[in-house]
Structure 1
Amino acid sequence: MSGTTTGGCLCGAVRFTAQNVPAKAGVCHCEMCRRWTGSALIGVTVALENVDWQDETHLGRIQSSHWAERGFCTRCGTGMFFRVTMDSDYSGDIELPIGVFDDPDGFEITNEIYIDVKPDSYAYEGQSDRKLMTRAECHAKFGVLAENAD
């Protein structure tokens, strides 16, 4: 990836342009992400300053925990982003679901987190090639999660 990439919600009310989008995507199987997306969150991490929302009129936000927020279209409900709001090493980035990109091709899943709570009804190809982390490993690596276990 890289260069300029565009995307938006189902109804078109929320649109964005993103720059320097990496080709590496990750999957989160935690309960919050599963409930938010209806499955797993497959997302790509982009620096917050590299995402330009064309019109934020219909871009809603919900503080999904005291340390993070999720953005969505207030007209159609499409989940648009996940962002850490608590001051931390991760608060300068935004996680964009790959499904909101106009062209979602070209992403490679390189890691899956909360793998031990993943439903047994699906699996992604190539698991041996990616980093897998359990809930406990995520809590150990990302201290804010351990302090505020979901």
Structure 2
Amino acid sequence: MAYHCQCLCGKVNYDVILDNLDFSICHCSMCRKNTGGTGFSYFYTYCQPNFSSSDFLSTYNAQNIAERVFCNQCGTLLYYRHFESNGYCIPIGIVDNLSEEKVKLVSEWYYQDKPSYYDYNEETKKF
């Protein structure tokens, strides 16, 4: 199903196809630093986002293994793309009109790096 996504300031909009609404959280220090939070919550897809405009896009090369694409006006992370798998991590917070009853946390990545000051109630696969 296609979902609409947009950044905080609204200057960047795109549509992306998500096969399901299962999401993951990455606890690595880079993702925590990039989001300024407890982790990076994302939907995973192999479908390339379809941007209505690329005027406000900037890209950060993450250690030559991935790219982080963000709005150069408000700083919102738009997606993370892993070069080897060519998969896209779409931040859950930028997806409009989610059916919350269908959204499900299924996995946590770099679980060994998760700080001890928080836990999630859901049973997840831990990598």
Task: Provide the TM-score with structure 1 as the length reference.
Answer: 0.77
Pick aligned residue for 1:115 from 111, 116, 119: 111
1:69 and 1:24 map into 2 onto residues whose CA distance is 22
> Structure 1: where are the runs of 5+ without partners?
134-150
Give structure 1 regions of 4+ aligned residues with deviation exceeding 2 angstroms.
Answer: 103-106
Pick aligned residue for 1:7 from 5, 8, 24: 5
1:19 and 1:81 map into 2 onto residues whose CA distance is 13
Whose radius of gyration is greater, 1 or 2? 1
- Alignment correspondent of 1:132: 126
- The 1:84–1:43 alpha-carbon spacing in structure 2 relative to 1, beyond 3 Å, is same
Which deviates more from structure 2 when the two are superposed, residues 95-104 or residues 69-78?
95-104
- The Cα RMSD (Å) is 1.3
1:102 and 1:67 map into 2 onto residues whose CA distance is 28
2:18 and 2:105 map into 1 onto residues whose CA distance is 17
- The 1:20–1:117 alpha-carbon spacing in structure 2 relative to 1, beyond 3 Å, is closer
**Identity, % of aligned pairs?**
27
Once the two structures are TM-superposed, the CA of residue 48 in structure 1 deviates from its matched residue by 3.2
Tell me which of the two structures has the higher relative contact order, counting C-alpha pairs closer than 8 angstroms and 6 or more residues apart: 2
Greater percentage in helix: 1
Aligned residues: 124
> Structure 2: where are the runs of 5+ without partners?
none
Counterparts of 1:37-52 in structure 2, within 5 Å, are 37-39=35-37, 40-49=39-48, 51-52=49-50
Question: Contact 1:81–1:95 at 8 Å: present in 2 too?
Answer: yes
2:11 partner SS: coil
Question: Contact 2:11–2:56 at 8 Å: present in 1 too?
Answer: yes
**1:33-81 deviation digits (Å, cap 9, x = unpaired):** 00100120000111233x2111111011110111111011000001111
